Structure 1
Amino acid sequence: MQWLWAIIVGFVLGLIARAILPGKQHQPLWLTTLFGIAGAVLGNAVSRWIGVEDTKGIDWVRHLLQLAGAVLIVGLGDMIYMALRGGKRHTA
């Protein structure tokens, strides 16, 4: 059942990251979901590294780090995706 939550959280984080990033991202939604999952994993690793993975109440710092990881990976992933496809980025 945890894999289902990972997919849902990855999808939501990926969509939020795409909304935060300027311009249009070109990767498909399934790739955005994978990037969101990777961002959540990265955010969890950083929160564990700095010692704020588990706190009393809502883990706001961990969630913000997950979102930051998703923004980073979605942004980098879009650049790599476009480079592999041979397309040029168009800014709006």
Structure 2
Amino acid sequence: MTVTGLVTALLVGVTIGLFGRLVIPGRREAPIWLTVAVGVVAALAGTIVARLAGVDTRAPNVLAVLIQVGLAGIGVVLVVASAKSERCDSA
């Protein structure tokens, strides 16, 4: 993985992590740091998947970025959708 691939993955992951919280309706139980972290990890996984698929990740590539965005978006949606409230109802 090259420096360009890492930087692109970090930028995509942070962006998708932040925008994911804004786009998904309803309460946001997942903390912002979690959505950003999941976005970054999923975007890094997207770089690896793109590289394994034969996409050149040494230079900015539209297909590699699309794979990163797709995986980061799926990861953030899953985290936000599965986050549950930790509040306790006291009687």
Same fold (TM over 0.5): yes
Quick check: 1:29 aligned with 2:32? yes
Uncovered stretches (5+) of structure 2, i.e. residues with no partner: none
Seen in structure 2, the aligned counterparts of structure 1 residues 7 and 51 have a Cα distance that, compared at 3 Å, is: closer
TM (normalized to structure 2)?
0.65
Uncovered stretches (5+) of structure 1, i.e. residues with no partner: 88-92
Aligned residues: percent identity?
A: 25
Q: Name the CA distance, whole Å, in 2 between partners of 1:7 and 1:78.
A: 20
Q: Name the CA distance, whole Å, in 1 between partners of 2:20 and 2:70.
A: 8
| Greater Cα radius of gyration, structure 1 or 2 | 2
Quick check: 1:38 aligned with 2:41? yes
RMSD value, Cα: 2.9
TM (normalized to structure 1)?
0.65
Q: Deviations over 1:50-86 (max 9, x none)?
A: 111336x63111111111011110011113322xx36
Other-structure match for 2:73: 71
Check the 8 A contact 2:16/2:39 in 1, yes or no. Answer: yes
Check the 8 A contact 2:16/2:76 in 1, yes or no. Answer: no
Seen in structure 2, the aligned counterparts of structure 1 residues 41 and 18 have a Cα distance that, compared at 3 Å, is: same
Q: How many residues align?
A: 80
